[in-house]
Amino acid sequence: MKRIFGYLAKYKKESFLAPLFKMLEATFELLVPLVVKQLVDVGIKNADKPYILKMCGILVLFCAIGFISASTAQYFSAKAAVGVAADLRHDMFAKVQKFSHADLDTVGISNTLTRLTGDLNQVQTGINMTLRLLLRSPFIVFGAMILAFTIDVRCALIFAVAIPLLLAVVFAITLVTIPMFRKVQAKLSDVLKSTRGSLIGARVIRAFCAEERMTKEFDGENDALCAMQKRTAKISVLLSPLTYLIINFAIIVLIYTGAVRMEAGLLTQGALLALYDYMSQILIELIKFANFVITVTKSIASAGRIDEFFGTGSERGTLDAARDASKPYICFDNVSFAYAGGGDVLQNISFTANRGETVGVIGGTGSGKTTLVSLIPRFYDATGGSISVDGLDVRAYAGDDLQKKVGFVPQKAVLFRGSIRDNMHWGKADATDAEMIDAITRAEGADILKAKGSLDAAVAEGGKNFSGGQRQRLTVARALVRKPDILILDDSASALDYATDARLRATIRSTDNPPTTFIVSQRAASVMHADKIIVLDDGEAVGIGKHEELLETCPVYREIYDSQFKKGGDDGEQ
């Protein structure tokens, strides 16, 4: 909650004025029973019409002032709540943008979305209600009790007994439900995670006729959430009936005691009516306060989860290291890597790459190819050994200086909604039309521009209005337009035919000052012309060398090659 208060400090004026106007409204509300008492005991008793009209006018005035005060308080409380939520959302999104790949793996997308939406909205509602009701409800409850003592001490003692009982019920239920609401929010993230997985894999699920299985898994998560919500609700809903029970019993005692004292001439009709009004005000306020407590309980749980979110993420510092000009352009020195909570994915990898060279990375599924190239732009930090780029340890690069050197084309081609031009600007914000067209042409995408008409052709979300091959070529073009020093093609030609793939590789090699290119592929044809090929098997480099060398010395590479090309036939030359 300290973090939330820190954001609320920016809205000091609103946070002060909202409760102030609510207290003003509450003050006039507390004066109403006293006016009614005078109206009954003086005006009605004496049939004094001018006095009655005067008191009625005062009541109307109090109503108008209360309405204006309440509206003003609502405005300021809403302004503060929405402002805090907007600032939090901005900082949370900025935090996500700074997450490393390891952080995203740890936090999870579903948990992140839950905090950015449900938790944040709950905190916004909690702030709004806190500014309006935190002071108003206790002020009216205790103010009504104090004013009851000014009317009749004996009857007011009923208030003194009922109010502590009510507060005990409220606080007891609050203490029990706060951790329960936190668990409900966590379980909701599990349901969102299951839902997201089903939506992303919908085609695969249908292809393997696994709808029933996924439905059962979702029902299990959903039923667990439902059961937890029911357990929490069974306790939280006790708040309203218990407060009703205590207040109504107090009203019965009050009416009985007041009737006895009226019969004895110790209490007037107006006084009893005023006491009843005060008890009714306490009832209404405590019902509001009960709902307020439930909402704030959820908000506190959500605020805790948001605070955990800000505390998540490894702060990766910059290594204090000097540039070693004698080192090759890219150097892996005995590098190992393991994901959090798992064993080594890469073990003792060592190799070098010079400027302009093409390095192929090949191996079976799960051999660590993508992980290997992801260490170059420091998407992940190696858990053992060291990696240097241009003679400087990757951990010594400040900010995004290292990423600016790299053009990365991921396995899954990702296009953003907008136009082709907009997507090219992701690679280079100030790219000219000529640079974009040149990059697309080099990525074998000239036919895409011809078919779509221009750079302003619309791109649907995820590039769904393009074929798989078109998406891949445009993502390659997006990397090429920035003219990177290092180009990483992570299995980015899987949807291209062999001829197009070969032309794309040839075009990249033939450019002026070609980038140091890493080609990750399961196709031997895609890497066989590389200056160096790294063969991975279960996280280990079982072979490093040229195509001909590896055919002679590396059984794993030879097996991959033989499985894709007939012995004695087509040798894969493109």
Residue 151: how many CA atoms within 13 Å on its side-chain side? 36
What pLDDT does residue 513 have?
83
12-38 helix and 120-133 helix, angle to the nearest 10 degrees: 40
Residue 500 pLDDT grade (very low, low, confident, very high; cuts 50, 70, 90): confident
Residue 199 main-chain phi, psi, to 5 deg = -70, -45
Label residue 144 by pLDDT band (50, 70, 90): confident
The band of 574, judged by pLDDT with boundaries at 50, 70 and 90, is very low
Where helices occur in 99-152 by DSSP H, the ranges are 101-107, 109-114, 120-133, 136-151
Question: What's the rounded Cα separation, in Å, for the pair 236 and 255?
Answer: 30
Report the distance separating Cα 83 and Cα 131, nearest Å. Answer: 13
Alpha carbon of residue 190 to chain centroid: 14
Those residues with Cβ within 8 angstroms of residue 104's Cβ, 6 or more apart along the chain or in another chain: 112
- Between residues 239 and 561, the one the model is more confident about: 561
Tokens of 90: 């901005």
- Is pLDDT of 571 > 80? no
Q: What is the mean pLDDT of the chain?
A: 87
How confident is the model over 173-194, as a mean pLDDT? 81
List the Cα angle 533/558/491 in 5-degree steps.
45
d(Cα 561, Cα 569) in Å, to the nearest integer?
12
What is the Cα–Cα distance from 507 to 517, expressed in whole angstroms? Answer: 12
Question: If DSSP codes are grouped into helix, strand and coil, which group holds residue 388?
Answer: strand
Digit-coded pLDDT (tens) for 458-495: 999 888 889 888 998 999 999 999 999 999 998 887 77
* 42: pLDDT strictly greater than 70: yes
Q: Give one DSSP letter per residue of 315-361, joined into a string.
A: --PPP-----TTS-SEEEEEEEEE-TTS-EEEEEEEEEE-TT-EEEE
Confidence at 22, pLDDT banded by 50, 70, 90: very high
Comparing 281-290, 430-439, 548-557, which segment has the lowest mean pLDDT? Answer: 281-290
| Cα–Cα distance measured from residue 80 to residue 78, given in angstroms and rounded to the nearest whole number | 5
Q: Do residues 487 and 515 touch, judged by C-beta distance below 8 A?
A: yes
Residues of the chain with pLDDT > 70, as a percent, come to 97
At 335 the pLDDT is 94
Q: Which residue has the tokens 């340890």?
A: 393
> CA 560, CA 542: separation in Å to the nearest integer?
13
Tell me, rounded to whole angstroms, the distance of Cα 122 from its chain centroid: 13
Token pair belonging to 460: 């649907």
Separation CA 522–CA 532 (nearest Å): 15
Provide the pLDDT confidence category of residue 23 given band limits of 50, 70 and 90: very high
On the CB side of 136, how many CA atoms lie within 13 Å of its CA? 30
Q: Which one-letter amino acid corresponds to residue 171?
A: F
Q: Each residue of 310-319: pLDDT tens digit? A: 887 666 666 7
CA distance 294 to 306: 19
> pLDDT tens across 85-115, in order?
999 999 999 888 888 777 787 777 777 888 8
For the chain, the residue count is: 574
Q: How far is CA 562 from CA 191, 566, 567, 568, in A?
A: 46, 6, 7, 10
Is the pLDDT at 185 greater than 80? The verdict is no
pLDDT value of residue 165: 87
